Structure 1
Amino acid sequence: MTRLTCALLAALEAAVAALIGLGIAVLPMMLLWSVHFGLTVDLAVFLRAAADVWLLGHGVDLVAQLDPVTADRIGLPGAGEPFPITIAVLGFGLVTILFARRIGRRAAATGHAVTGCLAAMAVAAGIGGTLAILAADPAARPSVWQGFVLPAVVVGLGAVIGAAYELLRAEASARPDASPGTLLARWRDLPEAPLAAALAAVRIGAGSAFGILAVAAVLVTVLIAVDYATIVGLSQALGAGADGGIAIAIAELALLPNVVVWAASWLLGPGFALGAGSSLSPTGTLLGPVPGLPLAGILPAEGAALGIVWLIVPLVLGFAGATVAWPWFLRTPGRTAHAWWMPVAVSAAAGLVAGVVLGLLAWWSGGAVGPGRLAVVGPEPLPVAAMAALTVFLGSIAGAFTARAKPRGGRFADERSAFDEFDRPEPAYRG
């Protein structure tokens, strides 16, 4: 495939990804316009709102201004003044990342990873900036420069993840023609021991971070199942009707990734806030008025018993990740992998990776959702990152030393004997 063809395909897929995300945002708006408001309100209002929601999903900030009647009805301090909305609706960003990951994989498989990523980012930047300009309104004004930048960053992140995955897969397959581009050639020129250590750290750290998110997702699922009656009761109390109920359900699905990240922050200890002065963590719950979404029915009324016990989750994940990754790392030729300090270095890097991943997700998942106390919603990124890094580091170092000390007759005996054979000095030549 030529470079131009790869760029055109990546641009087309990026446009399709944006259209699908916009379609998901437009659907509930069309229901509200046609059913709830009976086609009496200007359609442009709902189209602008859909564009705002899509931009929010990619991290673009809005400045909103409520009309006086709505501001008086809400009754929050500062409701009549312009206020920022900075929370990212992660469901839309997740859809874009999944599509972009496919773009990156396809581009890397053709040997033009950089070209494909840049083409997709250019299309995302054009769509995001255009929507930010067209959706500008006194009621909600998105940041234009963020509209050009942040959707492109999200697409680039997904494309880089996909390209890196395809690159590693091609390298593991030992087929030179699987990824014939320049990146694979440069990858193979890197020093083997530092590269193996970095890959081990990324596998342990990223695996532990996403393992924590998986446990948090299971926890959220269990809470939804247990508190389903409360959620239904809150939904009925809103009296939104069938069309409004569908719109609320789609909004909650879009916010579900945010809730999973908040649950992960809760597992790690720092917890999260739902308004200034509120706090939800394993040690206790302090709540005021919360946004009126039925999903709020899963919020715990109090802290968990023995809340610190939840920290065993990242410890176990770090331990398991190091136990699995360490024998793979020992396949690296040379004596560096067997040095006593190597488990400490790899575990420290793994903790850093886990902290960066969860800290960035915590930062991206929170922000302002309204005026007054609603300007503080979500977890604090730095405490979440610090706890993730510390717990994963401790679990990883224990797992690495455990795998390092495994007897030769155990599961990884073949790998150890191979390294013994590698390190054994060659016999002197005898003529």
Structure 2
Amino acid sequence: MTQLLHRFRLLYRHDHALRFSPKAATAMFGGVVAAGAGLAALAVLALSLWTISPYSAGGPGTALHVAAALWLLAHGAELSRSDGLTGGTVPIGVTPLLLTALPAWLLHRIAAQALTPDPLADGEGPDGEPELGPVAATGWLVAGYLLVALAAALYTDDGPLRGEPLSALLCVPLVAAPVAAVGAWTAYGRPTSALANWAPPPVAWLLPRGGASTGLRAAGVAVGAVVVGGALLSGGALAWHAGAVGDDFGQLTGSFSGRFAVLLLIVALVPNVALWGAAYALGPGFALGVGGAVSPAGAYGYPRVLPHFPLLAALPSPTGRDGGSPFLWLVLAVPVAAAAVLSWYVAHAAVQHDWTVPGTAAVVALAALCGGAVLAWSALLVAGPMGTGALSSFGPVAWSMGVAHFGWMLGLGLPGALGVRWWLLSRAGAGV
């Protein structure tokens, strides 16, 4: 307990978040720069498409409004546009994850550089006052990022795509704060002791030496296996419906610039499609409209004819609540394979570091918990409205996807890791 309190004091020492120091100004400016760089990159893309489009509406200011709106959408904020036929408002809430990758990478890089502690400061600033700690510095960096997000939301208020200021203030931190925290963790040398302190108490007490870093890596491996499996399932569905996919692509637009824009949107949605496939493989599936769902148990609640979009052409026709997939064995292979990979990874580390059975179990539990949290957080971004009617709700439910992954990895990964550990120790004892 004394060691835990000491680490807690080290983590939060001198974190006076309200004291605006030169370090706080540097961190806040870093957040502004990271947000501005992401906005600039999307502005270049939007202006390029506006330049080559033969039917561009509005001037370059319209393209800049769209770029600002897409930057907000990349952080999970909900947008809205006017429906030219009905005069109503159409919501857009599904985040293309590949669009998120650029601002997230920029924020991580700048956070890792701006928050690096001065090795000569010895915990004190140039005026002799305590240095700003990692938590407060990260908070100031995110605050600078949020200032730009609020300005972008206000800027898009009169554009073709409008960002909601309240949605931006609520959703942008869900992306910026974790990414900035990882950047700060990188700036401070990736200390594994800090990871162990944030684990739930039962798991933290049982974690062996090196268990926190191994659990995180195992979680990453398991999540990667599930997402790759989901991508293969989705890719197989697209290949199976290749004719319908091609027809929908050709019907959307006839100009080169329009088809190029649709192609860019499809590429940006590739990680989303992989996560939708992962949610399907884990069991809960994903929603399609209010009351509609697609899962291995059946597809129901949505019309047979969906809006023309290439990725939607791969969805199965409604089969009812009891119309299970004929390829259920292939679908279940995805979480089983992910649990097997996690088991093998943790068991090898357990034998190498001579962990006990409770210690090995704690590492598996940490990996399952972290993997479920990552998938739930990702599901929050890839789910939301894509329009009205059948597309008013689209994507996996965050909590069900996270719980399903946790259940699969703990239910199969725990006995698997203990079994592989016993087998490896038996082989070592027998001198094989």
**TM-score where L is the length of structure 2:** 0.74
1:88 partner letter: T
Q: Which residue of 1 aligns with 2:252?
A: 238
Return the alpha-carbon distance in structure 1 between the equivalents of residues 69 and 330 of structure 2: 41
- From 383, 392, 399, the equivalent of 1:382 is 399
User: Contact 2:251–2:308 (CA<8 Å) still a contact in 1?
Assistant: no
Deviations for 1:93-141, whole angstroms, at most 9, x for unmatched residues? 2222222333344456666866774564344222211110011038654
Q: Which runs of 5+ in 2 are unaligned?
A: 1-21, 119-132, 199-203
Partner of 2:71: 54
Same amino acid, percent of matched pairs: 23
> Which position in structure 2 is the counterpart of 1:405?
422
Q: 1:130 to 1:195 in 2, by over 3 A?
A: farther
Give the alignment of 1:54-133 within 5 angstroms: 54-67=71-84, 70-71=85-86, 80-107=87-114, 117-118=138-139, 120-133=141-154
Q: Is the 8 A contact 1:105 1:165 kept in 2?
A: yes
Amino acid at match of 1:284: G
From 170, 173, 181, give the equivalent of 1:160: 181
| Letter aligned with residue 155 of structure 1 | A
More moved, 227-236 vs 255-264? 227-236
Deviation track 1:228-279 (CA, whole Å, cap 9, x = no partner) reads: 4433322222343112111211222222222221111111122123323432
Q: Which has the larger radius of gyration?
A: 1
Match of 1:44 among 61, 74, 90: 61
Q: For residue 162 of structure 1, report the CA deviation from its aligned partner.
A: 4.1
Q: Which amino acid aligns with 2:64?
A: L
Whole-angstrom distance in 1 between the partners of 2:151 and 2:221: 37
2:377 corresponding residue in structure 1: 360
- Of stretches 294-303 and 52-61 in structure 1, the one that deviates more from structure 2 is 294-303
* Contact 2:286/2:396 (8 A) holds in 1: yes
Unaligned 5+ residue runs, structure 1? 72-79, 173-182, 415-431
Are the counterparts in 1 of residues 108 and 180 from structure 2 also a CA contact under 8 Å? Answer: yes
**Measured at CA, do residues 53 and 408 of structure 1 come closer, stay the same or move farther in structure 2, by a change above 3 Å?**
closer
Name the CA shift for 1:25/1:152 in 2 (closer, same or farther; >3 Å): farther
2:339 is the counterpart of 1:318: yes
Moved more, 225-234 or 351-360: 225-234
CA distance in 1, matches of 2:291, 2:192: 51
1:404 aligned partner, one-letter code: R
Give how far 1:390 is off.
0.9
Query: Is residue 29–residue 50 contact of structure 1 (8 Å, CA) maintained in 2?
Result: no
RMSD after superposition: 3.7
The answer to whether structure 1 residue 256 and structure 2 residue 277 are counterparts is no
In the alignment, is residue 28 of structure 1 matched against residue 49 of structure 2? yes
TM-score by length of 1: 0.74
Evaluate the alpha carbon distance shift between residue 325 and residue 27 of structure 1 in structure 2; reply closer, same or farther with a 3 A threshold: farther
Name the counterpart of 1:417: none
Helix, strand or coil at the partner of 1:59: coil
Aligned residues: 382
Larger deviation, residues 110-119 vs 285-294:
110-119
Query: Is 1:217–2:231 an aligned residue pair?
Result: yes
Give the SS at the match of 1:315. helix
